[in-house]
Structure 1
Amino acid sequence: MYDVIVVGGGPAGLNAALVSGRQRRRVLVVDSGNPRNAPASEMHMFLSRDGFSPAELRKVGREELSGYPSVELRVGQVDSVAPAEGGFTVVLAGDETHRARKLVLATGQVDLTDAVDGLAARFGRGVFHCPFCHGYETRGMTLAVLGHELPQVMQALYVADRFSDDVIVCTNGHPVPEPAVSRLATAGIPVREEPVIRIDGQEGDMRLVFADGTVLERQAVYHRAPTRQHSALAEQLGCELLPDGCVRVDEFQRTSVPGVYAAGDTARLAALPDALTFVITGAADGARAAVWLDQELFREDVGLTG
């Protein structure tokens, strides 16, 4: 019986395991090895690690965890989780079964990019989703903002305000949402509504190819893709989901299912409009979940519950 099984080995999951391991809790981390930010070569806004490789951060994190004998790391896929006496049963691919008193879900999200040839392959490398994460590096560049939903189109106003005076919205065959029409016009941001069939090139030399054969040359592209949960485990457990699909958590990172915590961009407080996708906030969520999870275990062990 583990004290806690952490599903997900990104910043949230690894930091949850680190905090728990330092409290001498018996921890198992199960990581599928398919992180959301795998395409990105750099991460930002992480004090002392600004510009650091996300892959290198995960590598360093795993090495640090190896110094704690109570923490185990396993590369694998969790197929199912279910409540069991005293905690939960976790079944990995291949029917390997483990038990834990508590769970931390740090499985993250998946970006659902538009069906434009070359877009997904360049996501995180020339095509960016977040101006907080990548805006500074694209300052002064010629930019395209791809998308037709209101939050996607409104991103053009933000990057034009902060980082570039040459921004073009490409709605990929859709009209501009009415609330954005006058705002874009006032800001002097042009719009192209023709379908985009392909994106070529690399950061600094990108080309959007339209269905009519014309080409728009840009140095970088922003595309705020919708997301879905990377894993169905939260839904399988019956955790409450918010309208955008994020797992609802409270200030302690607790889900609606007792004993199940969630951390990172897989979850958010109901009061927030979006899940934050920053590496540093994911790591903070993991630490927060581990601290309060540890306190819950302690209170159970000394009979302070109820």
Structure 2
Amino acid sequence: MYDVIVVGGGPAGLSAALVFGRQRRAVLLVDGGRPRNAPAAEMHMYLSRDGFPPARLLALGRDELAAYPSVEVRSGVAVAARGTKDDFEIDLADGTTERGRRVVLATGQVDEPYEIDGLAERFGRSVFHCPFCHGWETSGKSLAVLTHEPMEAMLALYVADRFSDDVVLCTDGPRDLPAELAGKLGERKIKVIESPVSRITGDPGALELRFSDGSSLAREAIYHRAPTRQHTGLAAQLGCEIQPDGTVRVNELQETTVAGVAAAGDTAKLPAVPDAATLVSLGAADGVRAALWMEGDLFRSDLGYSPA
């Protein structure tokens, strides 16, 4: 039996495994090899690694884990989970089952761009979800914000305020924008196009949105906050509380509502936090935080002592 099974080999999972390895814990890290930011060529706002390729970061993380013999990294997909504190079972797609005293879920979320021809294949390359991650690189460019959600129109106001004087909001069909928000869009001279988007074509820096009414719009970049879902159903299988937005509920120690199970990265968030942040740096920090406090729990369990 492993001390900890970490599911997910992104920044959160690798960071958790590193902490446990340095504390001489027997750890299994299971990684399906499908990181959420795989399409992105660069990551940002990670001190000393701004503009660094995210795939390279993961490779370096794996290399660092190799220095700790108690950490096993296995390529594979976890398909089922069950059990209780001190005796969890994780089933892998290859038919094996592994047991662990504790579990850290760092499985992340999956983006599901709208079903518009040409959108998904450009997502993360010339269609961006986050102005914190990509705003600097789109400074001064012609931008479109594509969303069905009225309140997501705030994103158009934000990028217009920070990065560009040429922003168009595309709602992909008629939407009821709150009057105050519509007024703010008008004040910033942000054009609103309600015609459904039928197709997106072009290369980075030279995109074209084509609409069902036959019109088109040339843009250098597009922002689109795609709907998301959990990458796996493991948290629900273990009985963890899933919040209305689909994230796993955790407390300040990254603990889920199930004893012995922690969750880290954008798969989880505190109830008071409005959105699951997608920054690599925050994912890594969550992994460290989860492992730090779980290590203390394991130590107290080993000692047979629970302070009042």
Which TM class, normalised by the smaller chain length?
Answer: over 0.9
**Kept in 1: contact 2:204–2:220 (CA 8 A):** yes
1:252-275 CA deviation, whole Å, 9 max, x = no partner?
Answer: 000000000000000000110011
* Structure 1 residue 210: Cα displacement: 0.8
Amino acid at match of 2:199: R
Aligned mates of 2:224, 2:74 — CA distance in 1: 33
1:18-68 CA deviation, whole Å, 9 max, x = no partner?
Answer: 011000101101011111100000000000000000111111111111111
Which residue is 1:12 aligned to?
A: 12
**3-state secondary structure, aligned to 1:104:** strand
* Structure 1 residue 241: Cα displacement: 1.2
Which residue is 2:41 aligned to?
A: 41
Q: TM-score, normalised by structure 2?
A: 0.97
Q: Tell me if 1:254 matches 2:250.
A: no
Which residue is 1:137 aligned to?
A: 137
Aligned mates of 2:26, 2:38 — CA distance in 1: 28
**Kept in 1: contact 2:85–2:260 (CA 8 A):** no
Return 5+ residue gaps in structure 1 as ranges: none
Amino acid at match of 1:147: T
Which residue is 2:306 aligned to?
A: 305
Q: Tell me if 1:219 matches 2:209.
A: no
Aligned mates of 1:167, 1:148 — CA distance in 2: 16
Specify whether residues 285 and 49 from structure 1 end up closer, same or farther in structure 2 by C-alpha distance, changes over 3 A only: same
Which residue is 1:82 aligned to?
A: 82
Return 5+ residue gaps in structure 2 as ranges: none
Which residue is 1:68 aligned to?
A: 68
**Kept in 2: contact 1:7–1:13 (CA 8 A):** yes
* Structure 1 residue 215: Cα displacement: 1.4
Question: Segments of 4+ in structure 1 off by > 3 A?
Answer: none
| Structure 1 residues 290-301: aligned runs within 5 Å | 290-301=291-302
Aligned mates of 2:305, 2:170 — CA distance in 1: 58
* Structure 1 residue 213: Cα displacement: 2.1
Aligned mates of 2:19, 2:200 — CA distance in 1: 43
| Structure 1 residues 1-306: aligned runs within 5 Å | 1-83=1-83, 86-179=86-179, 180-305=181-306
1:182-215 CA deviation, whole Å, 9 max, x = no partner?
Answer: 1211221101101111111122111101112221
1:223-276 CA deviation, whole Å, 9 max, x = no partner?
Answer: 011111111100111101111010000000000000000000000001100111
**3-state secondary structure, aligned to 1:182:** helix
Amino acid at match of 2:297: E
Aligned mates of 1:129, 1:197 — CA distance in 2: 20
1:129-154 CA deviation, whole Å, 9 max, x = no partner?
Answer: 00000000000000000012034211
Tell me whether 57-66 or 277-286 shows the greater mean CA deviation.
Answer: 57-66
**3-state secondary structure, aligned to 1:24:** coil
User: What percent of counterpart residues are identical?
Assistant: 61
**Kept in 2: contact 1:26–1:70 (CA 8 A):** yes
Specify whether residues 84 and 297 from structure 1 end up closer, same or farther in structure 2 by C-alpha distance, changes over 3 A only: same
Aligned mates of 2:84, 2:173 — CA distance in 1: 50
Specify whether residues 176 and 203 from structure 1 end up closer, same or farther in structure 2 by C-alpha distance, changes over 3 A only: farther
Specify whether residues 151 and 69 from structure 1 end up closer, same or farther in structure 2 by C-alpha distance, changes over 3 A only: farther
**3-state secondary structure, aligned to 2:199:** strand
